[in-house]
Structure formats: C-alpha cells, structure tokens
Amino acid sequence: MLLRGRGTRPPCTIHDMAGDGPAVMSALGWDSAHLCSTSMGSGIALATAILHPGRVRTVTATMGGPMRRRDALRFVRFGFFARAARIRHPATGEGAVRTMVDLTRMLATPHAPFDEEWARATAAISHARAPHDPGSTQRQAAAGLSPGPLSARLGEITAPTLLLNGADDPLIRPSAGAALARRVPGARAVILPRMGHLIQQHLWTPLADAVAAQAALRP
C-alpha cells in the first residue's frame, strides 16, 4: 500500500498541492494572499510558504504539526483510528452518511454542542458529490507524509506564521504546534480551549479574529 512502500512515490505529493494555491491566485490575478489552513492543509500552507515565498503574506495553520514523518507520528493519537474502525453501518448511501456523521462527532470537542443536523446535511452533500473511495483516503495520507526535503527547509519561511491547535483535539496532540513553531522563524503557537479537530460554530469568532490579526501583520 502507499503508506507502507518506502520506495513508492505517491501519485500526488505535498509539492504538487503546494502549487495549487498559487495557480488559483494567478487565475484570479492575485500576486499574493494570506493563507489559512486546517489539518493536512497546514503542511500544504507551510510548503507553499517555502516553495512560493513571494505569493504568501501570512500563514495561519490550525490543527497541524511537524512535517517530517517521524516527528509528525509522535504527535498523532493513534487510538482515534482504532475507535473509528469500530464504526459499523450498512454498505449503503445512508450507511455512508451515518459513518461520516459519527466520525465528525468523534472529531468534535466534547465541551461544546455538536450540530448533528449540520453534520448530516454536510455528509449527505459530500457523499452525493463523491461516494466513498478508500483509495482516495490512502492517496491523501500518502501525499501528506511526503514532504521530503521540505521538512528541513522550515527555517526558510519568512511569512509571519501562527499555529493554532485545539486542547481537545482527539487526533493531533495540542503540543504539536509548539514543536513545529520551534522550526519556523518567529512562529507563534497557541492552544485554543474547547477546540477538537473540527471548526465548530463557537470557534468561528475567535478564529476569524486570529486570522484577521495575523493578516494585519503584513497587509
């Protein structure tokens, strides 16, 4: 499988993904932009700041951690995957939606209301748009674990960088942000209370304020 074969190059790498943002900027006629990312997107944002420094004004990365594989794995809570594997629903469209709702609930903080109606509606749209493909999950994970030499180039980042992690994140240990901040010049790491691995409604205002403050550092 892609995650096991050391000599197998995944069909898509983080280098490829780091080119997507600048391509969209060019299509829109933008010279640069402020990047805000979540989870694996945090690594993509940092890779973009390394490979395309002139296109990135600031970075706000949430729920991320170190890019290098052996470092990143130290901060993953593997128990989450064991719990997720125990979710069992019929192999139907409704079963797929229920599975996504259950996974979303697992990613949420237990210290704030869980909007099940939103989760179900979002899961239904997602499934209708693209029915579950186990291979896509493996390809995404393989891409996220393929930073290559980029992990050694974090010291080249010049964009102001803010790293936000959730105190209740069931997937990534909150200390992951601080570990990453030590590798990025001038980066700040902040742990947000009542945040899991999901941006729930009670987080909208504090996260928007954080992104706005970060963007103000380099208008």
pLDDT digits (tens, 9 = 90+) for 6-65: 556 667 788 888 999 999 999 999 999 999 999 989 999 999 999 999 999 999 999 998
Those residues with Cβ within 8 angstroms of residue 207's Cβ, 6 or more apart along the chain or in another chain: 62, 164, 192, 199
pLDDT at 137: 64
pLDDT at 15: 85
Alpha helices in the chain (DSSP H): 14-18, 20-28, 40-51, 69-72, 79-85, 93-107, 116-129, 134-144, 176-181, 204-215
Domains of the chain: 14-215 (3.40.50.1820)
Q: Is the pLDDT of residue 106 over 70?
A: yes
Average pLDDT over residues 114-127: 95
Task: Report which of residues 203 and 149 the model is more confident about.
Answer: 203
pLDDT at 8: 61
Query: Per residue in 160-218, pLDDT tens?
Result: 999 999 999 999 999 999 999 999 999 999 999 999 999 999 999 999 999 999 999 99
Quick check: 171 and 86 in contact, CB under 8 A? no
pLDDT at 133: 67
Q: In the structure, what pLDDT confidence band is assigned to residue 131 with cuts at 50, 70 and 90?
A: low
- d(CA 165, CA 61) in angstroms, rounded, equals 8
Q: Is the pLDDT of residue 68 over 90?
A: no
pLDDT at 90: 94
> How far does Cα 195 stand from its chain's mean position?
14
Report CA-CA distances (Å) from 125 to 95, 100, 118, 122, 129: 14, 11, 11, 5, 6
- d(CA 66, CA 75) in angstroms, rounded, equals 8
